[in-house]
Amino acid sequence: MPYYQFTVPTGGATLAHRAEVAAAVTKVHSEVTGAPGRYVHCSFVEVPPGSIFAAGEAVTGPRMVGLIRNGRSAELRGKLLHGLADAWCAITGDAKEDVAIFLHEVPGANVLEDGVILPEAADEPGAIL
């Protein structure tokens, strides 16, 4: 179920390393949450420079929005955020201060995958997808 979408200015290092970033995100998400890697989705959107803004000013750093199932503790979400950022930066060379990650929680009942509506998440790795 997790769905991670990266928005990256043209020429950004994330785009040059899509497969590596996707593999690293899958590994981090699976290790932190216990979800099988086959359920981790990643997509990459390339935008022209000057298309990403913070505080009304154009920024050059990439952004990521992640949809995860509702019900994870703040501690687990913190581990996930830092793990994702660290893996992403290790591959791309981006400074952690230049990236932004936004997690949105979605109830399992709002997701259909493999023909099944998902159960709610649990904090224990491996407890439920």
CATH code: domain of residue 41: 3.30.429.10
How far is residue 19's CA from residue 63's CA, in Å, rounded to a whole number? 17
> Which amino acid makes up residue 82?
H
Range of the domain at 55: 3-117
Q: Is 5 helix (H, G, I), strand (E, B) or coil?
A: strand
Q: Is 1 helix (H, G, I), strand (E, B) or coil?
A: coil
Handedness of CA 25, 27, 28, 32 (dihedral sign): positive
pLDDT single digits (tens) 53-108: 999 999 999 999 999 999 999 999 999 999 999 999 999 999 999 999 999 999 99
C-alpha neighbours within 13 Å on the C-beta side of residue 86? 9
Domains in the chain, number: 1
Its pTM stands at 0.90
